[in-house]
Structure formats: structure tokens, C-alpha cells
Amino acid sequence: MALVLEEAAKLSNDMLLQGVVETIIKESPVLQRLPFVEIVGNGLTYNQEKTLPGIDFYDVGDTWAESTPTFEQKTTNLKIMGGDADVDNFLKVTRSNLQDLEAAMVELKAKALKDKFEENFIYGNSATNPKQFDGLRKLIDTASAGDQVIAAGASGATLTLAMLDQLIDTIKGGKPDLLLMSRRTRRKLNALVRAANGMMETDRDKWGNFIQFWDGVPIAVNDWILDTHTVSGGVEAAITGGTSSTMYAFQMGEGALCGLTAPGHLTVERIGSLETKDASRTRIKWYVSLALFTSVKAAALIGVQD
């Protein structure tokens, strides 16, 4: 069964772990919503659904035609994310009246973990760096033309509301669960809505943060999505050297975009005193990956210019 990270953390009575999870999901719209499936082993091989089987009408006595869906076999391996937080024992003792240094260091390390996950969630590419899992850009394959890649123009164009509607409609089997974009793209979207004398629906999440909605779909910002992509011939040629950005839409779940993790999800391990220096160490680690089980559940609008 797939669980979001927050619900998985509740299964543990480790207060430090629960604090780390709260820290990383509070500022991450993806980790707040993305469900994770626990897998046994170091990877998962699955059949990604590409097209549905056909259905037809028949007369009495007709010969029925067999039709099957098409799949593409994919394999994704768990990758190791993490880092160590060291606290000097002298500082811990002499400054403990000011703040809990260990808690502060672990919190900073948790935020760094969140940043690294969000960056890899977009740009991870196991072909160029085998230590990474494949991110959205690789899973959707924005470097190639396809039904799930919408080009704003052959070499990029200014965003329009019609493009946004087209991106949403590209997701099959229901609306996307999230629209993910850069801050520049969100500013442009706000300007378009104001120019049309309209207003986007807003609400607050459980932490008090404002959330915007377009056509009922939450809008979220990923600070790692670059505005320097290069688009040529209707595909992304590079992520630097240009003036374009990409907007992503996707559904989340076991039949759509889903996280993969080892049993126990994220862990916080107290290493204890170090041998070579007067400090104690806490290790945050996560065996994690990403899988897109159905290709039509994720799409990208490339070439978005300001």
C-alpha cells in the first residue's frame, strides 16, 4: 500500500524522525502529496502502460478481433540519499542554554535533504549520474517529441492560458494532482489571470501556506526548475543557455507517478560519538526512487518564456 511520507512517519515513535519528516514536507508541495510504495530489494521492474486495448461493435456471427494494451518494461533502482550532521560536544555543552544545537543541525540537514530530493525530482538522470534516480524530465522525456510533451513553440513562446488548459487536458483519466512550475512561470500565470480580469481560487494548507488553484488543480513552485532551458525543433535541447522553462502536470498514486522506498521509508540513525573528533553524529538516510507507472499520467509544457 502506498503511503505519503507524513503518514509513514506516524508509524514510528521516534520523535526525531517525525520532526525531520515534518521539516522536509512543510516546504515541499511534492513531498506533502507524493505517495511511496515500499519495495523489497534494491529495485523494481514494472510494465509502463502505453496504450489501452481497443473495443468495437459487432454483428451476430462476426469474427471478434483480439486487442491488447501495449506496455514498455521499465526498471528503476533505489538510490541512496542522505547526509551526516555532526555536533561538536564542546559547543553542545557550553551553548545548550541558547538552543539545542543537535536539533538545529539535524533540521538544517533535513532541509538540505528536501532540496536535493526536489532538484532530483526534476533533473535526476541515472544515465549521466548513476547515483541518481530518474526525475520527471527524464521520465517524460522532454528531449523527444511525444504525446505527453507540449511545445509552446518550435523555439519557445510566451505562456498563454490556453497552453495551461492544453497541459491539463493531456493528462488522461482525470485531472492532474499538481501543476509544478518555476517562480517566474507562476508570476507570468498570475499576470495572465489579472489581465483577463479573473482570479485564481486560493486556500491554505495545514501549515497555513497559501495554495493557488487553476481549474481545481493545485499550483506549486519548485525552486530548482530553471528558466534557462533551450528549446529547438519543439524539444528540449539543453537546460542551460536559453530563456525557456518547463511546467509539469501529473497525477500521483500507484498507477501514476509514485515514489519508491525501502521498508521504513526515511530513517534517522544516531551514530554517536566519533573516534577522531570530539563530536557526536546523526545520520539521515533514505533509499528512494521514482516510478511513472502510466505514461499518460504525466506531461510537460516546454518552451515557456516570460
Alpha-carbon torsion 229, 232, 236, 240, what sign?
negative
Q: What pLDDT score does 99 carry?
A: 58
Question: What is the Cα Rg of the chain in Å?
Answer: 22
In degrees rounded to 5, what are phi and psi of residue 121? -60, -30
Of the two residues 2 and 27, the one the predictor is more confident about is 27
Q: What pLDDT score does 97 carry?
A: 58
Q: Indicate whether 216 pLDDT > 70.
A: yes
Question: What sections of the chain are H helices per DSSP?
Answer: 5-10, 15-26, 29-33, 89-94, 101-123, 136-140, 161-170, 183-195
- β-pairing, 70-77 with 43-51? antiparallel
pTM for the model stands at 0.89
pLDDT digit string, tens, across residues 139-156:
999 988 888 999 998 899
Which of left, alpha, beta for 220 (phi over 0: left; psi -120 to 50: alpha)? beta
Q: Indicate whether 98 pLDDT > 60.
A: no
Non-local CB neighbours of 264 within 8 Å, separated by 6+ positions: 38
pLDDT digit string, tens, across residues 50-68:
777 888 999 999 999 888 8
Looking up cell 482525470, which residue turns up?
174
pLDDT digit string, tens, across residues 278-300:
988 889 999 999 999 999 999 99
The pLDDT confidence band at residue 96, using thresholds 50, 70 and 90, is low
Which of left, alpha, beta for 59 (phi over 0: left; psi -120 to 50: alpha)? beta
